[in-house]
């Protein structure tokens, strides 16, 4: 089977993600159910959101690559590298949270740590890494545009609201610190690292299911 092109793999998932982003924005602007379209800072807990697609498409990309013969060389490394990246970034964030009370500095550290984690994860499964990185940018650039419109347009959406302890600043500062850095750093990291973990789990389950059953013992003569 021919090797699938990255563009072909991410096209439909990216369009689905874009549709969910548009639905989320419309639902918030229309003040629909907060359980589905939370407008508070962070927007956490909303059932409508592209964060959940990371896990779904992590499985999808893994299956497509596996069927094309692009499984990881080492399943152990496919697990270990993204987990190592996650551990590094988590430690950096916890240290930043304890050492620096400023949420701006915390975001800066988290941004740098996120890209360190992405780079560390790459060797676990390079083919999956490339697909997830491309998907992550295609998923997050539209969100970045929505955040720009929300911040500068004064829209009542979670896209324009920083965390409560965030210092007061103008729209450009707010856009840089709460939109640009998180979307092109933290959320890229979450998409790649957790997508790779889900992909490794998927390949492990697939191998278990495809393992031939042990031959039954011959009946006694």
For residue range 61-105, list pLDDT tens digits in order. Answer: 999 999 999 999 999 999 999 999 999 999 999 999 999 989 999
The pLDDT value given to residue 221: 38
Interhelix angle 187-210/53-67, rounded to 10 degrees, is 50
Q: So where are the chain's domains?
A: 6-208
pLDDT of 174 > 90? The answer is yes
The H or E element spanning position 16 is: helix 6-29
DSSP 157: S
Q: Which two tokens stand for residue 73?
A: 């060389």
Q: What is the reported pLDDT for 217?
A: 54
Tokens describing residue 3: 């090797």
Q: Which residues of 35-48 are buried (b: 16+ CB within 10 A; e: fewer)?
A: eebbbeeebeebeb
Task: Pick the closest to residue 35 from 49, 18, 16 (CA basis).
Answer: 49
Are 144 and 184 in contact, with CB atoms under 8 Å apart?
A: yes
Calpha distance 217→221 (Å, rounded): 12
pLDDT digits 0-9 by tens, 114-169: 999 999 999 999 999 999 999 999 999 999 999 999 999 999 999 999 888 888 89
């Amino acid at each position: 089977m021919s090797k699938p092109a990255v563009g072909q793999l991410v096209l439909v998932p990216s369009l689905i993600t874009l549709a969910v982003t548009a639905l989320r924005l419309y639902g918030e602007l229309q003040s629909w159910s907060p359980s589905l379209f939370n407008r508070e800072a962070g927007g956490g807990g909303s059932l409508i959101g592209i964060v959940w697609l990371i896990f779904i498409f992590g499985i999808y990309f893994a299956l497509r690559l596996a069927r094309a013969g692009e499984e990881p060389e080492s399943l152990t490394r496919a697990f270990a590298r993204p987990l190592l990246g996650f551990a590094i970034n988590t430690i950096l964030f916890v240290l930043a949270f304890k050492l620096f009370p400023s949420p701006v500095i915390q975001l800066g550290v988290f941004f740098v740590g996120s890209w360190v984690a992405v780079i560390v994860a790459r060797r676990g499964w390079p083919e999956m890494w490339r697909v997830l990185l491309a998907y992550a940018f295609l998923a997050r650039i539209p969100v970045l545009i929505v955040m720009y419109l929300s911040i500068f347009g004064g829209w009542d959406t979670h896209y324009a609201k920083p965390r409560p302890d965030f210092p007061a600043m103008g729209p450009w500062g707010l856009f840089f610190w709460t939109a640009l850095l998180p979307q092109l750093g933290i959320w890229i990291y979450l998409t790649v690292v957790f997508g790779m973990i889900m992909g490794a789990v998927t390949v492990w389950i697939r191998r278990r299911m495809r393992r031939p059953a042990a031959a039954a013992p011959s009946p006694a003569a």
